[in-house]
Structure 1
Amino acid sequence: MRITNVRPWGQSPVDIEITDGLISHVVPHVPALARIGDVDGRGRLGLPSFSDVHVHLDSTRIGLPFREHTGAPGVWGMMLNDRNNWRDAETSLPDRVVGTLERMIAHGTTRVRSYAQIDADCKLEKFEAVLAAKEKFAASADVQIMAFPQAGLLLEPGTVQYLEESLKLGATVMGGIDPCQLDRDPVRHLDIVFGLADKHQVDIDIHLHEPGHLAHFSTELIMERTRALGMEGRVTLSHAYELGNVSDAATERVMDGMSALDISWATVAPATSGKQFNLAAMTQAGIRVGLGEDGQRDYWSPYGDCDLLSRTWQLAFTHGLRQDELIEHAAAIATWGGATIMNRGLTRLGSTGDRPGLRVGDPADLVLLAGETVTSTVMDRGNDRTVIHDGLVVADQLELVL
């Protein structure tokens, strides 16, 4: 397969040859050498395809009518709002998950790490819906499923057993959530999370909404277990928006620990009143950073549109980025940064000027987008897109073709 007249990261036009799912040649574009069967890039930008490393496919309401937001404040109150309503939606959960994943792929996301809530209420029902969608679109996207204890591990009997069953059935990431604030027993909570991950040899991703010093305490415990079990490169902190909000010295300590243990950070670009991690500083420290949409217009909030390019704009906006290099860096996080979390064999971003993903040897997972520059593409967020996964065109003009 060959893609012609595409501008990698907005640079000069090239032709890209793809062999066995990898980029095998990149040469300057010569119009006279066009041949039948080529994919015409039409001078559009080429980026690595998007990587959504924090999405809750299991609670989606994408495609359904808007409803009044009825959730109470806090994780537990929001969880109960979902629990009280998700079965009464206008269409079945499996159909909602399939429709949402299809729309994500059509917009350019071919790497997805989705949560699957597992608790005493839904048991494995939400996990099975996400697993079915993963299998349906196996040729169009790489999907990792996280066994996620949204209601905690210790508050309802049977939760741990259901979580372990999902790991046996195909979940490849073990989740945790607010070890101190939700379960109020961080040692036992993390012993279970790390114990199941170690037993089944899967990665870990821990939701961390906890405030300031409490978040730092939980992170210290997470680092201790990562080091003790030799799980360097296998752990992600999601949200963790308070870790940059205590003091410069505390932020530096936690960043040093994350760097040394290759603990990554998945953000959903929240609007916060405090001081967040600095994106450039995280990359400079060698910490893998990825982006996700979180909920998709669900019972937690009305936000989410299946388009990680929109969330890239939000990442740049909430971090106050104006310079082209830094906005392009936000796009690199949304594409390649998340890919390196899902596949630690990929080289992490080295600087705010690093623009990987369209070089010889890189996976042929690309998205072609209209725009003069990467910054203009992030600002305009147009619909002229062609999506390539594993060397095949899987979507064009926001419609799946594979």
Structure 2
Amino acid sequence: MWIRNVRPWGAELSDLRVEDERIVEVRRSGATDDPGEAGAGAGTRHTDDVDGRGRLLLPSFADVHVHLDSTRLGLPFRPHTGGPGVWTMMLDDRAHWREAEVGIVERVAHTLGLMVARGTTRVRSFAQVDVDAGLERLEAVLSARETHRDRAEVQVIAFPQAGLLREEGSPQVLEDALRAGADVVGGIDPCTLDRDPVRHLDIVFGLAERYGVPVDVHLHEPGDLGRFSADLIIERTLALGMQGNVLISHGYGLWDGTESQTQDLVERFAEADVATATVAPGGRATLPLELMAEHGVRVGLGEDGQRDYWSPYGNADMLDRTWQLAFTHGFRRDELVEHALAVASRGGASVMDRSLPRLSGVGDRPGLAVGDRADLLLVAGDTPTAAVMDRLPDRTVLHRGRVVADQLQLV
């Protein structure tokens, strides 16, 4: 298959040839076959060729922090009823998630389909597992993954939203979720929620070691307390040889310290190859994205909730969330806005697949070279920065070398 007349990362018009899910050739548009390349087929049109019509070509998005199991996209809007704090919000979600107008399996599959149609082909979703929900929410996310198995790559995180020590039986439910097919073991606020960081992390990392899975810890803890928890996570990562398999989600409070504290923590993240994921929140300390890129820290972007019981925000469009990442960090220069795109695409992809190289700096634009898997997004825009600002609907999405969505509709 040829993808013709596209501008990779905004460069000159090019044609790409795809075989066996990968890009095998990139050439200037209109170039003809050399006599010795009769088998290349550049002059031959195939029914599954894609006409890019001069659109931008970017790597498709990777949403590495989304809670598909709490989505309300597609349902009537409801007033926000949650209160302050993680525990209070969790109780509000617990009181209402079963009351939705349609079942959880249907609404999770619907939201995942919306994400694919808008350009996301890699997804890391949390599924809440606790003594209230059991494995019901996990099973809904696993079902959606199966529904869209040819359109997206989905990793599922068994997530103890209610903590592991506050309700009897929570660690057993978490282990049951791993046995049922979860790909990643989650944790949350080991100090402020469970108030016993050693025991909490012993359970999480013990399960990770036993089942051979990565770790993803929600960390909302402030300042020095958050940095203390991060230190414990990094220590366990190095002690267990889990470099590249641990991620700290959110971590807003980690970056409000002194310049030397930030520099030291970024270096420790890089040394242990501990990744981080942000949802680009407003009103919080921003990530030191440029410093992280300089040191090769894996950083991904996600949408968090999707108009759910936690928040009215989220619309399944990672191009919107990329705009939010650039906006909340005050990015204006094209190089930095494009870096936000790189974080939202290949940055997140490298979180899900540690064999992919980390971004090497704010100028790194990977994902569209010969040998790369053809997970691609064609989108209208004069430049990549313009695409982020305008977020136009003229999009075509490819996953593993196949068109899976066009014009915001699944194929």
What SS does structure 1 have at the residue aligned with 2:372?
Answer: coil
2-structure distance, mates of 1:188, 1:293: 30
- Asked whether 1:94 is paired with 2:112, we answer no
2-structure distance, mates of 1:224, 1:349: 24
CA contact (8 A) 1:364 1:391 kept: yes
Q: Residues 201 and 147 of structure 1: is their aligned pair in 2 closer, same or farther, counting only changes over 3 Å? A: same
Equivalent position of 1:27 in the other structure: 27
Look up the equivalent residue of 1:43 and give its one-letter code. G
2-structure distance, mates of 1:386, 1:102: 14
- Asked whether 1:119 is paired with 2:130, we answer yes
Equivalent position of 1:260 in the other structure: 271
Look up the equivalent residue of 1:118 and give its one-letter code. V
Look up the equivalent residue of 1:60 and give its one-letter code. T
Equivalent position of 1:317 in the other structure: 327
Q: Alpha-carbon deviation of 1:341?
A: 0.3
- Asked whether 1:159 is paired with 2:163, we answer no
Q: TM-score, with normalisation over the residues of structure 2? A: 0.96
Q: Alpha-carbon deviation of 1:276?
A: 2.4
Q: Which residue, out of 56, 66, 75, partners 2:67? A: 56
User: Which stretch shows the higher mean deviation, 377-386 or 32-41?
Assistant: 32-41
Q: Alpha-carbon deviation of 1:19?
A: 1.0
Q: Which residue, out of 296, 304, 321, partners 2:306? A: 296
2-structure distance, mates of 1:224, 1:348: 21
CA contact (8 A) 2:377 2:397 kept: yes
1-structure distance, mates of 2:99, 2:59: 38
Look up the equivalent residue of 1:28 and give its one-letter code. R
CA contact (8 A) 2:266 2:291 kept: no
**Alignment identity in percent?**
60
Equivalent position of 2:40 in the other structure: none
- Asked whether 1:10 is paired with 2:10, we answer yes
Q: Alpha-carbon deviation of 1:34?
A: 6.0
What SS does structure 1 have at the residue aligned with 2:378?
Answer: strand
Equivalent position of 2:374 in the other structure: 364
1-structure distance, mates of 2:181, 2:275: 22
Equivalent position of 2:387 in the other structure: 377
User: Residues 83-115 of structure 1: CA distance to partner in whole angstroms, max 9, x if unpaired?
Assistant: 000000111011110000000000000000000
2-structure distance, mates of 1:58, 1:36: 40
Q: Which residue, out of 43, 58, 63, partners 2:54? A: 43
CA contact (8 A) 1:243 1:276 kept: no
- Asked whether 1:232 is paired with 2:237, we answer no
Q: Alpha-carbon deviation of 1:2?
A: 1.2
CA contact (8 A) 2:286 2:328 kept: no
Equivalent position of 1:399 in the other structure: 409
Q: TM-score, with normalisation over the residues of structure 1? A: 0.98
Mapping of residues 175-190 of structure 1, within 5 Å: 175-190=186-201
- Asked whether 1:206 is paired with 2:217, we answer yes
CA contact (8 A) 1:176 1:205 kept: yes
Equivalent position of 1:305 in the other structure: 315
Q: How many positions carry a matched residue from both structures?
A: 400
Look up the equivalent residue of 2:168 and give its one-letter code. P
Equivalent position of 2:35 in the other structure: none
Q: Which residue, out of 328, 332, 339, partners 2:349? A: 339
Q: Which residue, out of 338, 346, 349, partners 1:328? A: 338
User: Residues 344-392 of structure 1: CA distance to partner in whole angstroms, max 9, x if unpaired?
Assistant: 0011111111111110000110000000000000000010000000110
Q: Alpha-carbon deviation of 1:16?
A: 0.6
Look up the equivalent residue of 1:190 and give its one-letter code. L
What SS does structure 2 have at the residue aligned with 1:242?
Answer: helix
1-structure distance, mates of 2:211, 2:388: 39
Root-mean-square deviation (CA, aligned residues, Å) is 1.0
1-structure distance, mates of 2:46, 2:210: 51
Name stretches of at least 5 consecutive residues in structure 2 with no aligned partner. Answer: 33-42
User: Residues 8-44 of structure 1: CA distance to partner in whole angstroms, max 9, x if unpaired?
Assistant: 0111011111111111111111188461322101110
